[in-house]
Amino acid sequence: MAAANAAMYGEMLETEPHIPPPSALLALTEAHRAAAEVLSLTISRKWLDKAPRGDGHPVVVLPGFLGSDGYNATFRRYLTKLDYAVHGWGQGRNLGPREGVLEALVERIEYLADRYQGPVSLVGHSLGGIFARELARELPDKTRQVISLGSPFGEGRLTGSYPARLFMALNPEEELPLEQDELHVAPPVPTPSIFSQGDGVVNWQTTVQQDGHAQTQNIRVRGSHCGMTLNHAIWFLVAERLSQPAGNWRPFERGNWRSLLYPGLGGELE
C-alpha cells in the first residue's frame, strides 16, 4: 500500500508545476516565530478589542492539517467576543478529506444557515481553507465569504508543501473527493486569501489567488504558518473582513497604520 501511494504521489508530481518548498531557515524557525506571535498576541489585547464588531452571523473556523478545534479555540473565543456566532468544525483532528468528512461539513453548514437564517462565513487555516473553498463552491447560497489563512490551494502545492507526502499517504489520490485540478479556482463568493512570505510550511506562492474574480483579494501579513491562528494582525484582519455587510463586500485597504502590519496586497514577491 505504501509503495502504491508513493507511486501515485510521483505521478501527480509529474503533472504539477514544480514549486520548491520554503527555505530550510523558514522551516527550522517556524516554532520560534509562532511562539513570538503568541507573545505579541498577549500584549495586543487592548488594541484587538477595538476591532469592528460583528452582526451575529454564524462563523465556522476550520483547522489545518493534523489540527483540531482545540488548536484555534482562543481565536474562536475572540471572534465570539466580537458578537459572531462562532463554531468549530466538529470533526476531531483534520487528517484530510477522508470518508464522510466533507459530507458532514455540508450538513453542518446547511444546519447553521437554517438555524441563523442567513449564510455562514468560513475561516480556514491551511487545509481547512481548502475545505472552506470547496464548501463555498458546493453551497454558494449558504456561504457569506471564505477567508483562507495560508491555504495551499494553488498549483504546485504538492512540491511546495512539506506535509504533502504525509497528506498523500493518508489520503490516496483515488479516494480524494476533491477535484484536484479545480482547487486553484476561486469559489463564487467573497474570498480573501491571507498569506505570509515567511511561511515555513508551504510555499506562499501556492497560497495566493491567481486569476480571481472581483471579490477575491490576496492580503499579505508577517508571520509563520503554524502561528496564523495566534497572530494578532490576522485576528484584527479577520475581524475587519467578517464585519463587511452582506452583499456589500469591499476590498481591504492598507492606508495609514495598516501598511505596517499588512505589507502588501496581491501575490507578488516583495
**CA angle, 72 then 203 then 8, to 5°:** 95
Decide if 47 is inside a domain: yes
Dist. CA 122–CA 111, nearest whole Å: 14
pLDDT for the residue 131: 95
The structural domain count of the chain equals 1
Cβ 190 vs Cβ 215: under 8 Å: yes
112-123 residue pLDDT tens: 999 999 999 999
- C-alpha distances out from residue 142 to 77, 121, 154, Å: 23, 9, 24
Task: Pick out the chain residues at pLDDT < 50.
Answer: 1-9
pLDDT for the residue 167: 82
> Quick one: cell of 3?
509503495
Decide if 249 is inside a domain: no
pLDDT for the residue 187: 97
Dist. CA 222–CA 261, nearest whole Å: 7
The strand pair at 58-62 and 120-125 is best described as: parallel
Decide if 251 is inside a domain: no
64-94 residue pLDDT tens: 999 999 999 999 999 999 999 999 999 999 9
Cβ 222 vs Cβ 196: under 8 Å: yes
Structural domain boundaries, residue 117: 2-243+256-265
Decide if 158 is inside a domain: yes
The contacts of residue 141 (CB under 8 Å, 6+ apart) are: 119
DSSP 139-183: -GGGEEEEEEES---STTTTTSBTTHHHHHHHS-GGG--S-GGGT
pLDDT for the residue 200: 97
| Residue 202 DSSP one-character state | B
Q: Report the CATH number that the domain containing residue 180 is assigned in CATH.
A: 3.40.50.1820
pLDDT for the residue 12: 53
Nearest 5°: phi and psi at 40?
Answer: -65, -30
Dist. CA 52–CA 32, nearest whole Å: 30
Q: CA quadruple 205, 240, 75, 263: dihedral positive or negative?
A: positive
Dist. CA 8–CA 19, nearest whole Å: 18
Q: Which stretch of DSSP H or E encloses residue 10?
A: helix 2-15
Decide if 270 is inside a domain: no
Dist. CA 134–CA 186, nearest whole Å: 9
pLDDT for the residue 4: 47
pLDDT for the residue 175: 58
Residue type, 96: G
